[in-house]
Structure 1
Amino acid sequence: MTPAVDADLVILGGGLAGLTLAARLARVRSGLRVVVLEPRTAYQDDRSWCFWRPEQHDLSHLVSRSWKTWTFSDAAGLTVRHRVPGLAYQYIRGSDFYASAQADIAESANVDLRLGVHAETVDAVPGGVRVETNAGPLLARQVVDTRPRAAESMLYQSFVGFELEREHPLPFELGEVTLMGSLDADAEGLSFVYALPLGRNRAIVEWTRFGTAPIERERLVGELDEVLTGLGLADARRVRTEGGVLAMGLGRQTASPIPGVVHAGNAGGALRAASGYGFLRIQRWAQLCTESLLAGQGAVGHPDEPRARRAFDRIFLQAVRAHPERTAEYFFALARGVAPAALVRFLSDGARPTDYARIIASLPWTPFLSQVAAPAAFSPAQTLPATRPTPTTETSVQR
């Protein structure tokens, strides 16, 4: 006799991906019994997500700030300003997203968020998937696994940021975001400042390094301290801290070897390989997954990248990896040589063939042509040694 299942769907991880799917299933009243397992015992204001959208959209109620202008600058102070009519760079605070998702879940009798519970093992068994947890076993028909995975990556985006506040105005224009400021590069790769002005007296300021190895947070904090001193912000109060390491270019996600299990979230393919933007990609995946579940076709992972985008991202990341000292040159060339609308489409997964042509024309050809025929730098199946830092997920104030 097949044992009765405890849930139609178990979601491992209640971060951005897991909560987005669970909240969506709760809102559509799917009737599916859903359990979300999240190791945290409580949510904190520890995340931010940004993206480009028109002012009004389905997530507008979560947006706390938006800006019509975004800037790039090099180490010498040369600045390029971008605007796209009808689009704004928009910011969702983590605490607002968590509160909204939990409220949606609380309204559903069929969706259960279990904090302080983590999966220990996941195995296929007759009748479904058995999840052993620190609170006991669960038998599910299907599992969506959004947890981080240790895997070799082409590059790593390491960052730390502070939300700052002080009594007198901060040195930022309220209407514009510093998307990549003070772009510089050395043998370790790219570094830049990212700043979101939240008001005259409050802003998020982040320091990012983009290179072949993760950077320890202590070092990033020390470098950010120097940046803040240079900006005249050493006296500002640090309201909260964000930070993490994003694995860039994990490669194509292979199917889970466990029947009934699919992978999602950053480690499952949510992050854009060449940029790190993932918020809207997760929203699109959650919609696809919900539609598939409602149609009785089962949960789905992130769709494969289109061939042209995958090839372009691979070439770009490998060129960066081959010549890290030139990375600032590459990014500033994109800012100067590509029309703002085309660059936003590229970063937001909507690039047209003409956009790729403009991007290619703006970049120095030699380092990129040398990577066209080069094989992929890593296989996505490779795992990291236990002593190597595991890339964290869903942590960026940028994405």
Structure 2
Amino acid sequence: MKKYDYIFAGAGLSALMTVYQMILSGKFKEKKILLLDADSKNNNDRTWCFWEKPDGDYEHLVHRKWNTAIFSDANFTRDLNLSPYQYKMIQGMDFYQHVFEAISKEHNIEFLQQKIIRFTEENNGILAETETEKFYCDKLFNSILNPQEIVAQKKYPYLQQHFIGWKIKAKEPVFNPEKATFMDFSIAQKGNTRFMYVLPFSKTEALIEYTLFSKELLPENEYENEIQDYFKKLGITNYELIEKEQGAIPMTCYPFWKKNTKNIVHIGSAGGWTKASTGYTFKNATKKSKELVAFLATGNDFRKFHKKTRFWFYDLLLLDILDRKNYLGSQIFSAMFQKGNPAIIFKFLDEETSFVEDIRVISRCPKTPFLQALGKRIGI
């Protein structure tokens, strides 16, 4: 049985970011590291978007970026000047190639395309099993989410950011490539939080996604029918479908960190690294991977890694509202963005605001649902 210092169960965004940060630190060259994943990571299976100041850590991988974003609902449309931020897009394939190129230069890091089926702690270490082999390690990083454990409990709501997106080339020049549509709530809400999301690459090319923050997924044709209805609204009558993408990202404040043990840490969506109130992952994973690698240099007990902040509680209140009254999402986000300072809002969503700035953002939201949610959560 092969023995490693570190094993990564799953080699998605957060695992690859953590390994990459380990390489950059130069402090793990004598550690044997294994990544296990059923997927080969050699296809462009997703895109990540995030807001960030210029010259970020992965700037050289940015495929597109926008300085202005559009927010709309049934009553208003606003161009958001994102300065000092930019809205950035990275393609999955570009990220995978970059990280695996770095891994290929390290003699101590190995990737195996094998599906991990279980891992168990024994004798102060971890036994990790795939469908064909067994491996042993001192520390294990798990990024494989088990949604059943979240659904089974009732204390913390579990919603999903779920979507289908079409990348198209239209005959008509209907897009403004300088402006991304961040959220367009002008579409029918149907009792949920539903919006269109548009990333324009040229006057005729864009990625258009139909997105929901809700509990249940929809039949595939419902997403696609809404996308085609939106084309009519934009004036698109003739187009070529280039690519499709779909996903379902967990939105929950479930305390994943309580499942950490001395030698097992849960990362990525399985560790609560997804921003619960928005479903955004890339920026949070960048921060958390750095924090985790810094912790590895000084700490030996993963139970001490996580630190809960006030932003976790803010997210919990919003999810409590959307869990009980999902239709309020449009009203809440519109209240924030209609007159609020975009830079402060995005700073708040990045969990980097002062308490005074928090109040500036929160005070714009409808007060009654948040006070009701707060009343039910007193004592947590």
- TM score, norm. by length of structure 1: 0.86
Q: 218-227 or 64-73, which moves further after superposition?
A: 218-227
* Stretches of structure 2 lacking an aligned partner (at least 5 in a row): 152-156
Aligned partners of 1:337 and 1:359 also within 8 Å = no
Q: Residue 219 of structure 1 corresponds to which residue in structure 2? A: 222
Describe the shift of the 1:187–1:206 C-alpha distance in structure 2 as closer, same or farther (beyond 3 A): closer
Q: Residue 266 of structure 1 corresponds to which residue in structure 2? A: 269
Q: Residue 145 of structure 1 corresponds to which residue in structure 2? A: 142
Q: Residue 372 of structure 1 corresponds to which residue in structure 2? A: 374
Aligned partners of 1:255 and 1:262 also within 8 Å = no
What CA distance in whole angstroms lies between the structure 2 residues aligned with 1:252 and 1:296? 21
* Stretches of structure 1 lacking an aligned partner (at least 5 in a row): 380-399
Aligned partners of 1:262 and 1:301 also within 8 Å = no
Q: Residue 154 of structure 2 corresponds to which residue in structure 1? A: none
Which of 189, 193, 199 is the equivalent residue of 1:190?
193
Q: 126-135 or 65-74, which moves further after superposition?
A: 126-135
What CA distance in whole angstroms lies between the structure 2 residues aligned with 1:36 and 1:56? 29
Q: Deviations along 1:301-340, whole A, 9 cap, x unmatched?
A: 973330x212221222222333323321211111113211
Counterpart amino acid of 1:105? I
Which of 165, 170, 182 is the equivalent residue of 2:169?
165
Q: Which has the higher contact order (CA 8 A, sep 6+)?
A: 1
Aligned partners of 1:53 and 1:87 also within 8 Å = yes
Aligned partners of 2:253 and 2:316 also within 8 Å = no
Which of 131, 134, 157 is the equivalent residue of 1:134?
131
What is the CA distance between 1:186 and its match in structure 2?
Answer: 4.0
Aligned partners of 1:162 and 1:206 also within 8 Å = yes
What CA distance in whole angstroms lies between the structure 2 residues aligned with 1:85 and 1:227? 29
Describe the shift of the 1:6–1:276 C-alpha distance in structure 2 as closer, same or farther (beyond 3 A): same
Q: 355-364 or 239-248, which moves further after superposition?
A: 355-364
Q: Deviations along 1:124-172, whole A, 9 cap, x unmatched?
A: 1225100111230000111000112212243222111112124553x22
* Structure 1 SS opposite 2:96: helix
Describe the shift of the 1:302–1:99 C-alpha distance in structure 2 as closer, same or farther (beyond 3 A): farther
Aligned partners of 1:14 and 1:37 also within 8 Å = yes
Describe the shift of the 1:110–1:342 C-alpha distance in structure 2 as closer, same or farther (beyond 3 A): same
Counterpart amino acid of 1:303? H
What is the CA distance between 1:294 and its match in structure 2?
Answer: 3.3
Q: Residue 97 of structure 2 corresponds to which residue in structure 1? A: 99
* Structure 1 SS opposite 2:258: coil
Aligned partners of 1:43 and 1:98 also within 8 Å = yes
Number of aligned residue pairs: 370
Q: Residue 36 of structure 1 corresponds to which residue in structure 2? A: 35
What is the CA distance between 1:45 and its match in structure 2?
Answer: 0.9
What is the CA distance between 1:96 and its match in structure 2?
Answer: 0.7
Q: Deviations along 1:99-126, whole A, 9 cap, x unmatched?
A: 10111111111111112x0111211122
Aligned partners of 1:292 and 1:298 also within 8 Å = no
Q: Residue 387 of structure 1 corresponds to which residue in structure 2? A: none
Aligned partners of 2:14 and 2:143 also within 8 Å = yes
Describe the shift of the 1:27–1:298 C-alpha distance in structure 2 as closer, same or farther (beyond 3 A): farther
Aligned partners of 1:252 and 1:304 also within 8 Å = no
What is the CA distance between 1:184 and its match in structure 2?
Answer: 4.7
Q: Residue 391 of structure 1 corresponds to which residue in structure 2? A: none
Q: Residue 80 of structure 2 corresponds to which residue in structure 1? A: 82
Describe the shift of the 1:270–1:296 C-alpha distance in structure 2 as closer, same or farther (beyond 3 A): closer
What CA distance in whole angstroms lies between the structure 1 residues aligned with 2:305 and 2:330? 31
Counterpart amino acid of 1:229? K
Q: Residue 13 of structure 1 corresponds to which residue in structure 2? A: 10
Q: Residue 360 of structure 1 corresponds to which residue in structure 2? A: 362
- TM score, norm. by length of structure 2: 0.90
What is the CA distance between 1:245 and its match in structure 2?
Answer: 1.3
Whether 1:181 aligns to 2:149 is no
* Structure 1 SS opposite 2:295: helix
What CA distance in whole angstroms lies between the structure 1 residues aligned with 2:356 and 2:259? 36
CA root-mean-square deviation: 2.3
What is the CA distance between 1:201 and its match in structure 2?
Answer: 3.1
Q: Residue 283 of structure 1 corresponds to which residue in structure 2? A: 286
Counterpart amino acid of 1:357? I
What percent identity do the matched residue pairs reach? Answer: 23
Counterpart amino acid of 1:90? K
Q: 171-180 or 152-161, which moves further after superposition?
A: 152-161
Q: Which has the higher helix share?
A: 2
What CA distance in whole angstroms lies between the structure 2 residues aligned with 1:149 and 1:122? 13
* Structure 2 SS opposite 1:199: coil
Q: Show the 5 A alignment for 1:110-125.
A: 110-115=108-113, 117-125=114-122
What is the CA distance between 1:192 and its match in structure 2?
Answer: 0.7
Q: Residue 233 of structure 1 corresponds to which residue in structure 2? A: 236
Q: Residue 70 of structure 2 corresponds to which residue in structure 1? A: 71
Q: Residue 212 of structure 2 corresponds to which residue in structure 1? A: 209
Q: Residue 252 of structure 2 corresponds to which residue in structure 1? A: 249
Q: Residue 155 of structure 1 corresponds to which residue in structure 2? A: 159
Whether 1:336 aligns to 2:338 is yes
What CA distance in whole angstroms lies between the structure 2 residues aligned with 1:354 and 1:234? 48
